[in-house]
Amino acid sequence: MSLADSDRELVVSELDREPTRAEAALFENLWSEHCAYRSSRPLLSAFDSEGENVVIGPGDDAAVVALPDSDGDGAGDTYITMGIESHNHPSYVDPFDGAATGVGGIVRDTLSMGAYPIALADSLYFGEFDADHSKYLFEGVVEGISHYGNCIGVPTVAGSVDFHPKYEGNPLVNVACVGLTNEERLVTAEAQEPGNKLVLVGNATGRDGLGGASFASEDLAEDAETEDRPAVQVGDPYAEKLLIEANEQLVDENLIESARDLGAAGLGGASSEMVAKADLGAHIELERVHQREPNMNAMEILLAESQERMCYEVEPDNVERVREIAERFDLGCSVIGEVTDGNYVCTFEGETVVDVDAYFLGEGAPMNDLPTEEPEQPETDLPDADLEEAFDAVVASPNTASKRWVYRQYDHEVGVRTSVGPGDDAAIIAVREAEQGLAISSGAAPNWTDVAPYEGARAVALENATNIAAKGATPLAAVDCLNGGNPEKDDVYGGFTGIVDGLAEMCETLSTPVVGGNVSLYNDSVAGPIPPTPTLAMVGAKDGYDAPPLSVEDDGDLVLVGDLGLEGDARLGGSEYLAQFDGSDRFPELPDDPTSVVETLAAVADDDATLAVHDVSHGGLAVALAEMVTDDAGLEVLLPGDDPAGELFHEQPGRALIQTESVEAVREAFDGIAPVVELGTATDDGRLTIDVGDRTIETDASAISERRATIERELE
């Protein structure tokens, strides 16, 4: 990829001269889709990013949100940070290093806000599970995430895994990180004062990752796995762990004025963005950068995306103390320049190689005005599948089967904050500093947004909120990772526009500000574009750290909150049932008052009479019921309608199964908000019996566990 002719003309006009080689490369990377959001920024104003708990919204390395105060009336003085990023193309070329460095990057975004990372969530998307290449990518990505996260001691507690044929040539790896800080420790990425020094701390700079930002802004070629290998960074989690602890001490001693992680476009990206935010400049002497490879030229030093590096703004009197701390943690440290009130200037061995206005470099890229094509609504064409065969197929599908093979490779308890770990509707992290539990849910639903981008994205937001409410928490804030194909294709951009608008609309309805995020476009390959994929990482807060379990006890009544899909009203569009047996249908309608549903569910989940709660979504009621039974507790369920497939398999979000000692209390709570349908009772024999229409499905926890072990069985 090179600087486009139209962009070069703008640069020449601004500089009144031809750019140097280093300048051209810097503009190419910082004006790429990956960095400048040229096709997506015009759409992002749809998101509401403000709220009384929002301390820092979009535009920094990570967002900052205040947890509610102790009486729940406003913002408290304990802050969390939230960030999310994609490492899609690198993970196709090199699944282990691509995924590992994605974790490293989002953790350093957390460090740059003066926060300590306390939790990770990964949302992963691959081609069909039975394809050998998909399994290779899947195994490599999970290994990369687990290796890096386990080594740095940050628990991976939540996430999702989806398989869809349209990811065959371009998997997605989206990673979110939550950090912990407070007002006194808060740092931003905005430079503060001319004369302050710029200090580079961390690993030495090599040639790895050159052109990574521009590589992420173009379609994957057929030979990408070999030709694009130099654009993939190589991570060192042990150095990252040292950097985490060094950063903590630097923040504790108030030595940092501003900070930026070296990610896309390397030193050039981090340092120029830092000063551009303050409308300042910098003078950097590139030869001062500590290097691990000989004979590096100016452009390589400027743009290499070597990992585990931070750029700090430091007052001159504090530079030596910063150096001492870096050396104590066996980290490299270079004083590379200073903040100025002029241009962004880089020299190399006495020669000026970059001399540009920092704001123009960071914000001058022209936005794209692209045409869109609305997706067509699917016709209704339903399969005639045997009900028991369908139950087995949907429960055993890799999309709805157990993800234990994935999360058991992650140390999800390191840090001793994990109260509810992966495998549940949402994780809960104990924030003891505020005596609150932080619920975390992350994921998307490619089947939904492939069929109906706008409604599917609304459903993704509602499902994440329902996951959080099922643990007794109420949504607080969210970050998104918006993944799409080549935006220059009208239908692809139409689908991408749909997921942006749908996600924004539902998050605003739920009063959940979207405080930051990431955009990844050009996820297109010889296999075609990916489904529009709006990964949402949402957090919610609650008093205390306990939550109702997902599994039922051996005594109590089971009710469904939400639409059962009676009398043929169930819509199966986007369902795993149709993915398994082919067919098409409209996407389900969503609840009329989703906010009240979520708030009421959270309150009922925390009620003493509630024994278990489980969100109903992917795979529909069939999968939700199967997931709730254990060897010691079963369910006898009667579905009263006349549309067995619709009732069992439609995937309308915003629904939940509740096991309770007081059905009447649940009815009263949801009166006027959502229907409450009595489904049956718990048993002590571990069996699941579902009477639906004139059919009966009978199975038990052991058989269900065997069906749901699809991924483990295939990979071990």
* Residue 13, annotated as binding a ligand: no
DSSP label of 542:
E
Report how far residue 142's alpha carbon sits from residue 411's, in angstroms, rounded to the nearest whole number.
12
632 is in an annotated binding site: no
Q: What are the backbone dihedrals phi and psi of residue 555, each rounded to the nearest 5 degrees, phi first?
A: -155, 135
Binding residue per annotation — 374? no
Task: Determine if residue 192 is labeled as part of a ligand binding site.
Answer: no
Give the CA dihedral 111, 112, 113, 117, nearest 10 degrees.
-10
Q: Please indicate if the annotation marks 51 as binding a ligand.
A: no
Nearest to 687 by CA among 614, 626, 611: 626
| Complete DSSP assignment for 464-510 | HHHHHHHTT-EEEEEEEEEE-S-TTSHHHHHHHHHHHHHHHHHHHHT
Annotated binding residue at 306? yes
Residue 130 assigned as binding residue: no
- Residue 32 is assigned to a ligand binding site: no
Residue 493 annotated as lining a ligand binding site? no
Q: Is 369 annotated as a binding residue?
A: no
Q: Is 288 marked as a binding-site residue?
A: no
State yes or no: 89 annotated in a binding site. Answer: yes
State both tokens at 462: 């509602």
- Quote the distance between the C-alpha of residue 330 and its chain's center: 32
Write the Ramachandran bin of 443: left for phi over 0, alpha for psi from -120 to 50, otherwise beta.
left
User: Any known ligand binding at 305?
Assistant: yes
Element (H, E) at 337: strand 332-340
524 annotated among ligand-binding-site residues: no
Task: Determine how many CB atoms are found less than 10 A away from the CB of residue 556.
Answer: 19
40 is annotated as contributing to ligand binding: no
Whether 34 is a known active-site residue: answer yes
Catalytic option among 87, 147, 283, 650: 87
Annotated catalytic residue 87: yes
Determine whether the annotation assigns residue 41 to a binding site: no
Q: Which residues contact 57 (CB under 8 A, 6 or more apart)?
A: 49, 50, 63, 513, 515, 516
Nearest residue to 112 (alpha-carbon basis) of 269, 251, 260, 314: 260
Q: Is 580 marked as binding a ligand?
A: no
State the Cα–Cα distance between residues 534 and 150, nearest whole angstrom.
27
**DSSP letter assigned to residue 196:** P
Distance separating alpha carbons of residues 75 and 136, to the nearest angstrom: 45
Give yes or no for a contact between 164 and 73, defined as CB atoms under 8 angstroms apart. Answer: no
Active-site option among 34, 283, 614, 618: 34
The binding site consists of 37, 85-89, 108-109, 233, 261, 305-307, 480, 517-518, 520
The binding site for ATP consists of 37, 480, 517
The binding site for substrate consists of 86-89, 108, 233, 305-307, 520
- Active-site annotation, residues: 34, 87
